[in-house]
Structure 1
Amino acid sequence: MRKLIPGADDAPALGLVQVAPRIRVLALRTPTLPPAAHTNVYLVGPSQGPVAVVDPGSPYPDQQAILDTILAELPISRVLLTHHHGDHVGGAAALAAHRGVPIAAHPATARRLDDIIEVTELIEDGDEIDGTIAVHTPGHAEGHLCFEIDDASIAGDMVAGVGTILIDPSEGDMALYLASLERMRARTPTTLLPAHGPPIRDGHAKLTEYLAHRRMREQRVLDALVAAGAGATTDVLLSVVYADTPRMLWPLAERSLLAHLAKLVHEDHARYDAAGGRWSR
């Protein structure tokens, strides 16, 4: 999930666009989180195919028809999924069935999609597939994968070209997410190809920005816990830690706050009194 950023817009290029050697992108309308309204589908491979199709996420027939038209003259090797969220997998089953190709994903993604979409090939960290290297980057989702090709990385929902990334504690893990950002920053690719928005050419700078922002927010949580003394409710912490965030976004901000708090509890930097509903140091 991505957090709404006032003033951001989602205006993808029309049609298929070359974004890196052997990688083209098509933005399709999906039921995703504003300000984004589209999810990028990446075609990986030679211009004449075969190509792997990464994250065909649209469930809408008119959008699937656009993709089918583009792929009509191209052989397809398989569908690759970065993770299990609906705006990334919404058209996967239809495309795989139509073209008779497998769907490949991390085992954790396959478990999440059990009884929804049949994942027929499993991808582990470091696997080479369709000319890419799969890199396991959990945190936003437990089975999240990036796909690296030379200087580019198809980054899924690790970063965003529009909006930013929400870590929901119901299925995400802030500590793992930060570790995955660090891992990505230490690797070779500098161009990040996100699922939402345009390419990020200085990927290392963007990853540094993301890490600094998360650490700033975590420090605000710690400072608020210290100031609270005997403890504070989630609502009180939210009003302090996200005082710089419009109130309309607080419901989403609360999910990020809880992810930070869960990380701090695990690290013994915070405690939660379930009976009183209060957080403290």
Structure 2
Amino acid sequence: MLPPIEKFDSSIGVRIYRMPVLAFPTLLAYTYLLVGACTPTLVDCGSGYGDSNDHLIAALKAVQSDFGEKLELQDIQRIFITHGHIDHHGGLSFIRQKLHGAKVGIHPLDRRILVAYEERVVVSTKNLRVYLQRAGVSEKRVQDLLNMYGFAKRLITSEKVDFLLEEGTEIDGMTFIHAPGHCSGQVCIRIGDVLLTADHILSRITPHQAPESITHYTGLGHYLDSLEKVKRLDGVRLGLGGHEEPITDIYARIEGIKEDHHRKLERILDIIRGAENPVTISDVSKAMYSEVHGYQVLLALEEIGAHIEYLYEHGELAVCNLDEIEQSDNPVLLYRTS
């Protein structure tokens, strides 16, 4: 049973409909329909997996029937993609056909994910393989994780991008804030006193982080800088994310997320200090997330890697098997505290 569709009014006359879709069996995502003082616009479009497309079409029709919006599908002329993760853009090919060719916009750093999707999958998979090997993951486990990583991605094809959502762009009174970290081209959309935070700020969990060694413009350093950028925005009354509940105080939520990451950094330092020998990213991941299984193992390895990368960049950690690194193509990296 999906949560109900919700309507929110912004201070600039744009009505915002928050529409749930089941992106994956255990992942609920939110898409948004913007109407009123703007060209009818869809923000994100689910994963295209399972029932996600059906949920999106049903929600768009329900906005008309249940909320009285005089809006046909073909009236929706634009699609904003907040970032290039599959639970937000995977349904693009399907919904674009239903909307009779609506124009699509995304940030420049995520543009190639849409226009050259097959290329990006090959490159990102290779980068991930190298990362997992350096993290100390066994070759069999590496292949298992890569198979899980690529499963849903095989269902997606490249799509045309019609315009770019660059930092500071203004469309119908809405402005776009580039907030890299969770994803390279992550944007938040300011609609008067409402901020569509996408996956940059969520109400309960801290958004997933992966190391920049896998994808440029991700990583914890970029993410924390982006939190500070959003914190400097004045007058945001409400945050609406790509998952979870609305955020009634984004400023307090930003502080909570920062505190969570600082606790995680300290926990990682404690684990490495307490180890008898230098440790790998995989060692730390097992120590902190010993109960995870399946795809969550990959997410844990990326999350720990992002934090270890941050600690290394800030001089808190050292790599100690330099001879092996110098003589080998892609050895496991061993860390100790500086």
Per-residue CA deviations over 1:162-195 (Å, capped at 9, x if unaligned) read 5441112233311101111121122122421000
Q: Give the stretch that moved more between structures: 106-115 or 82-91.
A: 106-115
Specify the alignment match of 1:25 in structure 2.
18
Per-residue CA deviations over 1:183-235 (Å, capped at 9, x if unaligned) read 11221224210001221111111111000000111122223333337522334
Specify the alignment match of 1:177 in structure 2.
223
Specify the alignment match of 1:212 in structure 2.
259
List gaps (5 residues or longer) in structure 2: 64-70, 117-157, 326-330
Q: Give the stretch that moved more between structures: 248-257 or 77-86.
A: 248-257
Q: Give the stretch that moved more between structures: 82-91 or 221-230.
A: 221-230
List gaps (5 residues or longer) in structure 1: 1-10
Per-residue CA deviations over 1:111-159 (Å, capped at 9, x if unaligned) read 1222322211112101102331100000011000000112211011112
Larger radius of gyration between Structure 1 and Structure 2: 2
Specify the alignment match of 2:272 in structure 1.
225
Aligned-partner SS, 2:203: coil
Aligned-partner SS, 1:142: coil
The RMSD of aligned alpha carbons is 2.5
Specify the alignment match of 2:58 in structure 1.
66
Contact 1:57 1:91 in 2 (8 A): yes
Closer, same or farther in 2 for the Cα pair 1:73/1:140, shift >3 Å?
closer
Closer, same or farther in 2 for the Cα pair 1:126/1:261, shift >3 Å?
same
User: Match for 2:313 among 232, 242, 266?
Assistant: 266
Give matches, 1:180-191, under 5 Å: 180-188=226-234, 189-191=236-238
Q: Is the aligned partner of 1:56 residue 2:102?
A: no
Q: Is the aligned partner of 1:280 residue 2:336?
A: yes
Contact 1:12 1:198 in 2 (8 A): no
Contact 1:44 1:51 in 2 (8 A): yes
The letter for the 1-side match of 2:96 is A
1:95 to partner: Cα distance: 2.6
Contact 1:43 1:51 in 2 (8 A): yes
Per-residue CA deviations over 1:211-262 (Å, capped at 9, x if unaligned) read 000011112222333333752233432354x2xx561267232321111111
Aligned-partner SS, 1:248: coil
Specify the alignment match of 1:46 in structure 2.
36
Contact 2:203 2:253 in 1 (8 A): no
Closer, same or farther in 2 for the Cα pair 1:265/1:73, shift >3 Å?
closer
Contact 2:106 2:164 in 1 (8 A): yes
Specify the alignment match of 1:7 in structure 2.
none
The letter for the 2-side match of 1:90 is G
1:12 to partner: Cα distance: 5.0
Q: Give the stretch that moved more between structures: 131-140 or 109-118.
A: 109-118
> Normalized against structure 1, the TM-score is what?
0.83
Contact 1:50 1:74 in 2 (8 A): no
Closer, same or farther in 2 for the Cα pair 1:125/1:63, shift >3 Å?
same
> Normalized against structure 2, the TM-score is what?
0.70
